[in-house]
Chains A and B, each alone.
Chain A
Amino acid sequence: MLRYAAWSPGRAQVVVGTGLVAVLLLGVAESVHLWRALGLAAAVSVGVGAWAMDEPSARVVDAAPRSLRWRTVARVLGLAPVATAWMVFAHHASGQPLPLPASGRGWPLAATGVASVLLGASLATVLRRRGWAAPGQQVAVSVGLVVAALGAFPKHLWLHLALFPIDGDADWAWALRFWVGALGLSLVALVVATSEGTQLPPAGRSRVT
């Protein structure tokens, strides 16, 4: 399984994505000015998670004995580098002295990173189950951009959807609850979508390439 994870078709996306996330998180950790890049790092993580689930040879592979669950678990394991980058960042940033907004906020940051990766992976897996061979780009584009937008101007949206508590008075507890909820829902979606007995309606158009 680990060998499959290391050599799956999505490995290039994982390598490039991990590099991007690491650079963005490094910027966030080093400069208060770059705190808004936190949403961008989460958006890239969503994109990497989704893109890594693409199966260009779906027509062949889906008919093979190895189940979608086996392949999905392997690919989720392959996303460990991105999650590790977030963990390292959360550990580093939570120990920083004030005025960094993340001071003492290791858990929300770790939850944000892991949940964003799994959010992308789970949405793409649901679409894979519905017969879409390579939904990664669409998920990365739509969900990733929305996450980036929520990170760029949370204060200007109704209800102040502060998924990334950038400002001092932002609600970190709400952000933690949101991302833990997203993490839980993503895991449930992954389990349900890869279950043998699950019947999901096919995508509107044939997406198998």
Chain B
Amino acid sequence: MTAATAPARLARREAVLWQLTLLEIRRYLRHPLYLLGVALLLLSVAGMVASSGSDQSPLSAPIAPAFLMGVFGVVAAAQLAASGRRLGRGAGAVPLPERTRSLALAVAFVVPVLTAAAWLATFLVIYHVNPPADGVWWFGPLSAGHVLSMLVGTTVVSAFGGPALGLLVARWVRWRPAPLVAALLLVVAGMVTQGSDTFPRTVGLLMPWTQWSAGVTDGRAVYYGGSPQWWLVYALALCVLAVLAAMYRDPDADRPRYRVAAAVVVLIAVVSVSLAATTGVDHTRYLPAATASGS
């Protein structure tokens, strides 16, 4: 009898997870912070349209989706996780295990991810159709794979990483301002370590968001060292690790399995960040501002 009902139970569990995921997606779409982030992203798209082809460099523009979907997402996801828990507590016995709710919320992070992806696609289309003017800081002679890894890692992956951190904070810390403090620390850490003369590049690469390029005042673009392809793997590993750590806290978690999975992901993260620091561009490069056709 058990063997006969097991597939049915599994199918039912999957159906419940899917329904819960749809519910979490709707909640994420309606969250005020997500809507504020989208509004500001639209302002940044309008800024791109207005400044494309001009003498303003878009090199640092990827910070917009990283901040608006990632940093805002830390707080939004934490609030969604906390309100879900409050609802469960208010309802008494909840038929769904908390790990299912965590998983559904993690899948709902597809909302900020797709939003950031849409922003990135718009960015690429705008600057393909109307490239920056001659002499503007741009990606120079870097390969397409290099540039795409930089852009995807610092926009789309950050849009998942921020909410994943929010879920992690919500599951482990019951202090109300904790998500806001986490968001603040994330921003401060980024400001202090990125493009800094104080910290070595390795520290910058260890952060969950890293800056790959900037402009300098004498008309050259600066590209920081490292391999963005390997850093992309590292950032993805951090995202998976955050979700695993959040689910580990759930009362009904399958902890032995999570420990093994986390160990594997930590290993991947260590190897990939080591490779990110030791391969790719081996030092900070200063390139003359490329012409649009040279990009």
Contact = CB atoms under 8 A, between A and B. Distances in A.
Nearest to A138: B32
B32 A145 contact: no
Interface string B47-66: 11010000010101101100
Contact of A146 (B36, B44, B184, B192): B36
A107 interface: no
Interface in A183-206: none
Interface string B180-219: 1001100110011001111000000000000000000000
Most buried by B among A24, A34, A152, A159: A152
B68 interface: yes
A158 to B, nearest CB: 4
A157 B60 CA distance: 12
B180 A141 contact: yes
B47 A145 contact: no
B67 A149 contact: yes
A80 B178 CA distance: 25
Contacts of B50: 158
Given A37-B191, A157-B44, 14 more contacts: A27-B192, A34-B191, A34-B192, A40-B187, A145-B33, A145-B183, A148-B71, A149-B72, A153-B44, A156-B63, A157-B40, A157-B46, A157-B47, A161-B43
Contacts of A142: 32-33, 36
A37 B48 CA distance: 24
A13 B178 CA distance: 13
Contacts of A40: 184, 187-188, 191
Contacts of B48: 156
Interface in A32-85: 33-34, 36-37, 40, 44, 47
Contacts of B198: 33
A130 interface: no
A133 interface: no
A199 B188 CA distance: 41
Interface residues of A, number: 28
Nearest to A34: B191
A44 B184 contact: yes
B251 interface: no
A8 interface: no
B47 A160 contact: yes
Nearest to B58: A156
A146 B50 CA distance: 22
A146 B180 contact: no
B145 interface: no
A10 to B, nearest CB: 13
Top 5 closest pairs, chain A to chain B, by CB: A158-B46, A158-B47, A157-B43, A158-B43, A156-B61
A137 interface: yes
Contacts of B177: 137
Contacts of A110: none
B68 to A, nearest CB: 6
B75 interface: yes
Contact of B40 (A144, A149, A155): A149
A145 B36 contact: yes
A140 interface: yes
A109 B180 CA distance: 24
A158 B45 CA distance: 8
A158 B49 CA distance: 9
Contacts of A34: 191-192
A153 B66 CA distance: 11
Interface string A156-192: 1111110000000000000000000000000000000
Contacts of A158: 43-44, 46-47, 50
B284 to A, nearest CB: 15
B176 interface: yes
Contacts of B32: 142
Contact of B195 (A33, A47, A141): A33
